[in-house]
Amino acid sequence: VSSAAVQTLWAELIAGSLADAGVRLCVISPGSRSTPLVAAIAREPRLSRVTLVDERAAAFYALGAARATGEPAALVCTSGTAAAHYLPAIIEASSAGVPLLALTADRPPELQACGASQTIDQIGLYGGFVRAALDLGAPVGSPEALRAVRRKVVQAVTLARGPAPGPVHLEVPLRKPLEPAAAESAAEHALARTAAALRGPALIAPPRLIADAGAVAQLAAAIASEPAGLIVAGALPPTSAARAAAYALAARAGYPIVAEASSQLRFGPRPRAAAVVDHFDLIPAAQLPAPRLMIELGGEPVAAAWAPWIARLMSGPRPPARWILAGATWRDPDSGARAVVLGDPADALTALLAQLELRGARSPEWSIAWAALDRAAGVAAGAALAAVPHNEVAVLEAALAALPEAAVIQLGNSLPIRTIDHARAPAASPAWRVIAQRGAAGIDGLVAAASGATRAGAPVLLVVGDVSFAHDLGGLLAARATAAPLAVLVVDNGGGQIFGGMPVARAGLGAAFDEHWITAPAVDPVAIAAALGLRGVRAATPAEVAAAVAAALRAPGAATTVIHAPVAPAGARDVRRAALELGAPGAGGGDP
Ligand SMILES: Cc1ncc(C[n+]2csc(CCOP(=O)(O)OP(=O)(O)O)c2C)c(N)n1
Ligand SMILES: [Mg+2]
């Protein structure tokens, strides 16, 4: 049996099975070949739908939603280049371990490799960036085929969730006629009963990657015999449960935590016994104490001071024993780890705490020394801020001070994710969750991803550079599909100013440097917002930024406000240099 009615059943089984497997959000881009699937999704009340014409923005939107909620989001598009636009977000999802499902409609086999319109070879399109690529095949009216479709949807959702969460590709060939048709013949009615019998809650059993018990025991023993330890926390998912365990380990072991904003450890209440270093990047290099043991959580730190410090420690006389707990990814870019322990960091820390037996209480001197350096760095930052006009650190401090309690902060790549750790958080800051695209560290898709992050229901502040904003102008269409207020804070320092701090800036390239590296986009974010029906505000001072952020995120509804904050091109660099010089009088500061 093969008919329009069978294809309709087939599509309904896919949509219903997605919902049975716990998927709640479908981000759909329009097209013809996907018609049966989209019609079925539109009739499935458990699936909420967002429509975005640009598949690239759609994929980043789904990425942001999945990252903020921890739940897989589904993408649906038509055949051809539509599917190719998913690639950048799929790469980020793969590198960062975010669950996604990409359902790409396609021509059936008889229309492949023959010049049929809008037909490309979609099998294997995402290469090694998906956890699995499952071809559902063209609809077949047999009970076996229906069971297989159901199985593949459940399989896809399971593999997207674990053991290494990430994207999964579902290829969905469909035949004309594409519009829904009701079962008529006896055979079609029999198949409809078969499909109905397959439905019901699906048991999704994603395996969890658990750190090896022997490795955890060895690390516990190493901690027990080493008082001079340091925890360094890079990017961790906003849904990670590692927070409490990391503080508990810091308190028990007497190890300070260098907490980057993306680690989820920088904001919110912390136990007094845990020393947390917020401004590692502003401590003069010569003053950094040398740890003997390091526990590195999550992603690679982004602080400019990190790589030169590690290089120095590793080539020094007593390199530290470095234990990397980064989840399911192998993270050791300088090949200097004592061990990379794969497994969920929260589980690993909990297991570690259970095994940790310290002989007596730790002397607090080591932690106190780090805490004193951090305090001095914060004071130096304050003084540097006051001395440098129109700098982005002041803009960030103002934005943080205006944030509502439940807010999510999404940090753009380039300078925002770095300067946030030069900013001082307000006293007793709420435990704001932080989203960062550190999987592949692209400056792409940030506006669309922040729009998707509102699906978690909390207001979102996106801090984004002016070039990154220009890169995702298409993503602003997604900012009309928010589920909570969104503030897009465009820190406009006149181009990609991260390059101004790199050696290329001093390579004598002249005008070519501005033309090919700085690339000031010269767009007016307020005018662009207005053209798209979004609110746009220019905020020339930190006080205006605070007012604009408060107004944007404390308002009821789910409106998006683009806040244009011009700052001095070298502001971020100048603040860091000044803070380092204040911290080390006469020493000439740290690394550029
Ligand atoms: C998709 C992508 N393209 C290019 C880059 C390289 N890149 C890194 S930072 C940057 C400039 C970013 O400028 P802006 O957003 O204004 O941030 P700023 O450096 O001024 O903080 C570029 C082009 C990248 N990381 N990702
Ligand atoms: Mg910039």
Residue with CA at minimum distance from ligand 1 atom 12: 496
Q: Which atom of ligand 1 is nearest to the CA of 442?
A: 26
Which ligand sits nearest to residue 517's alpha carbon?
1
In this predicted model, what pLDDT tens digit does every residue of 286-303 receive, in sequence order?
Answer: 999 999 999 999 999 999
What letter does residue 548 receive in the DSSP assignment? H
Q: Is 134 helix (H, G, I), strand (E, B) or coil?
A: strand
Residue with CA at minimum distance from ligand 1 atom 23: 496
Please tell me the distance between residue 564's alpha carbon and the centre of ligand 2 in angstroms.
12
Which of the listed residues 468, 473, 523 should we mutate to test ligand 1's pocket, taking the one with most ligand atoms within 8 A of CB?
468
Task: For residue 50, give the amino acid letter.
Answer: V
Distance CA 45, CA 379 (A): 54
- Enumerate residues 6+ apart whose C-beta is below 8 A from 447: 462, 464, 469, 472, 473, 475, 476, 478, 479, 488
In this predicted model, what pLDDT tens digit does every residue of 369-426 receive, in sequence order?
Answer: 999 999 999 999 999 999 999 999 999 999 999 999 999 999 999 999 999 999 999 9
Distance CA 190, CA 193 (A): 5
Please tell me the distance between residue 93's alpha carbon and the centre of ligand 1 in angstroms.
19
Which of the listed residues 467, 491, 497, 517 should we mutate to test ligand 1's pocket, taking the one with most ligand atoms within 8 A of CB?
467
> Could you please report the per-residue DSSP string of 372-383?
HHHHHHHHHHHH
Query: Scanning the structure block, which residue is given the tokens 């290099």?
Result: 285
**Residue 585 burial by Cβ neighbours in a 10 Å radius (0-12, 13-18, 19+):** exposed
Mean per-residue pLDDT, 563-588: 90
SS3 of 274-341: the string is: CCEECCHHHCCHHHCCCCCEEEEECCCCCCCCHHHHHHHHHHCCCCCEEEEECECCCCCCCCCCCEEC
Contact 340, 330 (CB under 8 A): yes
Q: Is 343 helix (H, G, I), strand (E, B) or coil?
A: strand
Distance CA 526, CA 43 (A): 38
Residue with CA at minimum distance from ligand 1 atom 11: 496
Please tell me the distance between residue 492's alpha carbon and the centre of ligand 1 in angstroms.
12
Q: Please report, rounded to a whole number, the percentage of residues in the chain having pLDDT higher than 70.
A: 98
Residues less than 5 Å from ion ligand 2, measured at CB? 465-466, 493, 497
In this predicted model, what pLDDT tens digit does every residue of 217-258 receive, in sequence order?
Answer: 999 999 999 999 999 999 999 999 999 999 999 999 999 999
How many of the other CB atoms lie within 10 Å of CB of 263?
Answer: 26
Pairing of strands 486-492, 460-465: parallel
Q: Which atom of ligand 1 is nearest to the CA of 499?
A: 19
Mean per-residue pLDDT, 21-36: 98
Residue 587: the pLDDT is 47
Provide the pLDDT confidence category of residue 1 given band limits of 50, 70 and 90. low
Provide the pLDDT confidence category of residue 591 given band limits of 50, 70 and 90. very low
> Torsions phi, psi of 500, nearest 5?
-65, -20
pLDDT at 504 over 70: yes
* Residues within a 6 A CB radius of ligand 1: 413-416, 441-444, 465-468, 493, 495-498
Q: From 172, 103, 90, 186, select the one nearest 131 (Cα to Cα).
A: 90
Q: Which atom of ligand 1 is nearest to the CA of 466?
A: 16
Please tell me the distance between residue 413's alpha carbon and the centre of ligand 1 in angstroms.
7
Which of the listed residues 443, 488, 502 should we mutate to test ligand 1's pocket, taking the one with most ligand atoms within 8 A of CB?
443
Distance CA 149, CA 157 (A): 13
Please tell me the distance between residue 568's alpha carbon and the centre of ligand 2 in angstroms.
10
Cα→Cα distances 7→11, 38, 182, Å: 6, 12, 10
* Backbone φ/ψ region at 80: left (φ over 0), alpha (ψ -120 to 50), beta: left
pTM recorded for the entire structure: 0.97
Contact 563, 549 (CB under 8 A): yes
